């Protein structure tokens, strides 16, 4: 009986001595997000999309203009949103540019507004960076969107 009690105690002791789980290594927030040409990618301000071949990096710097009509307000003009981005590749000098336009109620870019917004896409070397959507869409006139809350959905394609 003592032997059974001792074995049971040993089993309970060993069951409680499990190794802790391996720690997860967090991905730094400034690490680029790898994408394929033609793939949509959602970026936070300061975040970079990386097209591995041929080493193209596109960074969403910031929203430079937000004049979209809040969803809780009736407006004559829908307004625009402009986004500053920076592109860098091994074969081109870095270039900072602004893309933008009018959007629908979900922030999907519908068209550029001449003399008001940036173009909806920007040529950079052998590539084109297209702004597809900017979220969140403004809800209330008296509640500005925090700069770090914005998300830009972009697509990087090969230029024709």
Q: How far apart are CA 129 and CA 55, in angstroms?
A: 14
Report the side by side order of strands in the sheet with 121-124.
40-43, 151-158, 127-135, 121-124
| Per-residue pLDDT at 89 | 92
Rounded Cα gap, residues 48 and 152, in angstroms: 11
Please tell me the pTM assigned to this model: 0.79
pLDDT number for residue 31: 79
- pLDDT over threshold 60, residue 11: no
Of the candidate ranges 10-24, 56-70, 112-126, 137-151, the one whose mean pLDDT is the lowest: 10-24
Domains and CATH numbers, the chain: 31-158 (2.60.98)
pLDDT in tens, 23-72: 444 444 567 889 999 999 999 999 999 998 778 999 999 999 999 999 99
pLDDT of 4 higher than 50: no
Residue 112 pLDDT: 94
């Amino acid at each position: 009986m003592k032997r059974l009690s001792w074995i049971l105690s040993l089993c309970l002791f060993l069951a409680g001595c499990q190794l802790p789980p391996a720690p997860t290594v967090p991905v730094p927030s400034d690490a680029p997000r790898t994408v394929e040409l033609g793939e949509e990618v959602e970026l936070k301000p300061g975040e970079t999309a990386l097209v591995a071949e041929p080493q193209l990096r596109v960074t969403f710097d910031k929203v430079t203009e937000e004049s979209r009509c809040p969803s809780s307000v009736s407006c004559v003009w829908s307004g625009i949103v402009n986004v500053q981005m920076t592109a860098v590749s091994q074969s081109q000098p870095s270039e900072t540019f602004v893309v933008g336009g009018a959007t629908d109620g979900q922030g999907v870019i519908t068209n550029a507004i001449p003399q008001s917004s940036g173009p909806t896409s920007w040529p950079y070397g052998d590539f084109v960076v297209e702004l597809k959507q900017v979220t969140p869409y403004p809800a209330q006139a008296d509640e500005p969107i925090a700069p770090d809350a914005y998300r830009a959905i972009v697509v990087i394609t090969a230029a024709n």
